[in-house]
Structure 1
Amino acid sequence: MSRPLKAVKPFSTAMLLAAGLGKRMRPLTDHKPKPLVEVAGKTLIDHVLDRLAFCDVETAVVNVHYFAEQMEAHLAGRRRPRILISDERAGLLDSGGGVRKALPLLGKAPFIVCNCDSFWIEGPQVNLEALKAHWDPARMDILMLVAATATSVGFDGRGDYHLDSHGALARRRECETAPFAYAGVLLIKPELFEGTPEIFSLNRLFDAAEAKGRLFGKRLDGIWLHVGTPQAVKEAEEKIALSPVE
């Protein structure tokens, strides 16, 4: 096990949520974890890690549970960013609990959290760099990348959030639809995890930040690819094939 990180600059570290069972991706995940499913000749987790490396993220902490040995073997070949493993073989901790367990590896500065089934085709701006540039710690506890549901690939829900003219987010009510979906990438302050339980969803922190007026969003520039099912893999590959830039 590598030694925990000490003082680091904001957003030089990232947490990749990669421990899930990938049930919706079956049968592709019958014998491999979802982050190792390939889209356009590259695994899902490498699509995400390549974007982090491009934006000079130095260290990525990856939690593992399902087919953990396969994940560790695959990640051993990465050099940028540096990979640290957060081991959840003993039991899944949900999204928030997974980040909480990894805090000693993430350092004390604000960091990035990424899902491993979401990436995007870039528009004119590099989305992760734009997200970091938009961060304002005086106003924000969490800043999400959000995608317009109307132009996204592989997303079939009713949306997650409304985005106002100041960038503040409001979760849709149960009977509503919302124009934006959480695109699987966010910036967050580590102190939000103080006093949280061992097992919990990040939604708990999202709702708490919203209640304080400190949950904000940045609209994704490009096309969001939500790759959660075998059909979504095909749809993403078709969209990538038509795009001059992936």
Structure 2
Amino acid sequence: MRAMILAAGRGERMRPLTDHTPKPLLMAGGRTLIEHHLLRLAQAGYQDIVINLAHLGEQIQTHLGDGARFGLRIRYSPEGEALETGGGIRRALPLLGDKTFLVINGDVWCDHPLTPPPLAEHDLAHLVLVDNPGHHPNGDFALAHGRVHSEGADRLTFSGIGWYRPELFADHAEGRFPLAPLLRAAMAEDRVSGEHHHGRWLDVGTPERLAQLDAWLVAGEE
């Protein structure tokens, strides 16, 4: 199974911590953020991992190497200037193969087991949604009977964890573009499934939330 970790962002909200250290290499609970992902991916049975790189990306590649110490095979997708989520995934498609793959934001922490969902033949994506945090009270999408919609009541927040078919991106030209418009277009055709994860999740986007995650992990509250 293949997965991609999005690790190219500048981490503006995390400054000054990210001025000299890429956000995925910030520490919480005695490990870097990206190492938490890699260990969970290995435990879930993933073997081939793609990591996109931009801001201080050489530090990430030097720190992780080929992934052998995690029991994984890591390949890198350098971007120069970050291509946003959609563009980063589009650039990495040759490394991700022709089957459904997992993508996870490098700056979230979640206890989801990362077990691949049974994606229906018609579907292009499956998203993990979570309760709206205080800093994002209006959510992103609505979930009804296992289907994700761009509009609707009882909105939830996209966790940054999703499974995608390459077809979602393949017809889009390479370059810098966001993921959300592609997802909304697929939702309009009822081609996106989803689930509501009720466990632990945190958008580790600020120094305060990084400290919160560190406190959780040090206390053993995984």
Report the TM-score, using the length of structure 1 for normalisation: 0.83
- Alignment match, 1:3: none
Pick one of 125, 138, 143 that aligns with 2:121.
138
Q: Percent identity?
A: 37
- The answer to whether 1:128 aligns with 2:117 is no
Distance 2:14 2:76 in 1: 23
Aligned partner of 1:135: which letter? P
- Alignment match, 2:79: 88
Distance 1:201 1:55 in 2: 28
Distance 2:214 2:29 in 1: 5
Could you give the per-residue CA deviations for residues 103-135 of structure 1, whole angstroms, max 9, x where no partner exists? 111111110111001122x3xxx5312xx1x32
Pick one of 212, 215, 219 that aligns with 1:238.
215
The count of corresponding residues between Structure 1 and Structure 2 is 218
Given that residues 101 and 164 in structure 2 are in contact (C-alpha distance below 8 angstroms), is that contact kept between their aligned partners in structure 1?
Answer: yes
- Alignment match, 1:119: 109
Given that residues 122 and 191 in structure 2 are in contact (C-alpha distance below 8 angstroms), is that contact kept between their aligned partners in structure 1?
Answer: yes
SS of the equivalent of 2:123 reads coil
Given that residues 50 and 95 in structure 2 are in contact (C-alpha distance below 8 angstroms), is that contact kept between their aligned partners in structure 1?
Answer: yes
Distance 2:160 2:131 in 1: 13
- Alignment match, 1:54: 43
Which blocks of at least 5 consecutive residues in structure 2 are unaligned? none
Q: Give how far 1:94 is off.
A: 1.4
Q: Give how far 1:49 is off.
A: 1.2
SS of the equivalent of 2:94 reads helix
- The answer to whether 1:214 aligns with 2:191 is yes
- The answer to whether 1:17 aligns with 2:6 is yes
- Alignment match, 2:93: 103
Could you give the per-residue CA deviations for residues 182-236 of structure 1, whole angstroms, max 9, x where no partner exists? 1111000001212212221111221111010111211214111110100111222
SS of the equivalent of 1:144 reads strand
Aligned partner of 1:161: which letter? F
- Alignment match, 2:142: 162
Aligned partner of 1:195: which letter? D
Distance 1:211 1:140 in 2: 12
- Alignment match, 1:225: 202
Given that residues 127 and 221 in structure 1 are in contact (C-alpha distance below 8 angstroms), is that contact kept between their aligned partners in structure 2?
Answer: no
Which blocks of at least 5 consecutive residues in structure 1 are unaligned? 1-11
